[in-house]
Amino acid sequence: MKRLSTYSLRRVIPRTDVVELPVDARVSGFDRRDDADTSAAIAKTTYAVQGIFDTGATSTVISTDLAEALALPVIDRVISRSADVALARNVHMINLFLGDRLLFTGLTVLAMPLTGDSLLVGMDVIGRGDFRVSLRHDFLVVDFDLYMPVTDKD
Output the DSSP codes for 3-20.
EEEEEEEEEEEE--SS--
Question: Is position 36 within any domain?
Answer: yes
Structural domain containing residue 7: 3-12+21-149
Instruction: Report the distance separating Cα 154 and Cα 152, nearest Å.
Output: 6
Question: Is position 116 within any domain?
Answer: yes
Which CATH number goes with the domain that contains 80? 2.40.70.10
Question: Is position 135 within any domain?
Answer: yes
Question: Is position 92 within any domain?
Answer: yes
Question: Is position 63 within any domain?
Answer: yes
pLDDT of residue 8: 81
Question: Is position 154 within any domain?
Answer: no
- Read off the amino acid at residue 85: V
Angle at 28 between CA 27 and CA 32, to 5 degrees: 130
25-43: average pLDDT: 62
Question: Is position 91 within any domain?
Answer: yes
The count of structural domains within the chain is 1
Q: What is the pLDDT of residues 80-104, one digit of tens each?
A: 887 788 999 999 999 998 877 778 8
pLDDT class for 154, splitting at 50, 70, 90?
Answer: very low
Instruction: Report the distance separating Cα 145 and Cα 130, nearest Å.
Output: 5
pTM to 2 decimal places: 0.79
Contact between 118 and 65 under an 8 Å Cβ cutoff? The reply is yes
